[in-house]
Amino acid sequence: MREEYIARRDAASGGCSVDSECENVPGGVDDCGRVIDAQTARAIAPLYEAYVRTCGISLDCAPRISIPRCIEGRCVSTRN
């Protein structure tokens, strides 16, 4: 389950045209989260939820502000 989640997340295009095409994905599996394209984020959400229910969160990530934005055709994390 972990490997499938990571593989699908890492294969995300990250491409976008507008901010609404980008979304935060939570961390705790192997990193502290990131911004990817919303289509992939929705597709992997059930894998993440199943992993957390079964295995728990494996990382202790500090709180942070991440606002998903589309900048120059790529989904990125911003603070404002």
Q: What is the mean pLDDT of residues 53-64?
A: 85
Number of domains in the chain: 1
The one-letter code for the residue type at 21 is E
The CA–CA distances, whole Å, from 46 to 5, 39, 42, 55, 73 equal 9, 13, 8, 14, 26
Residues 22-34 have a mean pLDDT of: 91
Domain residues for the domain of 66 are: 2-78
- pLDDT at residue 59, rounded to an integer: 83
The chain-wide mean pLDDT, for the chain, equals 93
List the structure tokens of 23.
């979304």
Q: Shortest CA distance to 26 belongs to which of 59, 3, 4?
A: 59
Task: Identify the pLDDT of residue 61.
Answer: 83
Distance from chain centroid for Cα 38:
9
DSSP string, 21-45: GEEEE--SSSSS-EEEEHHHHHHHH
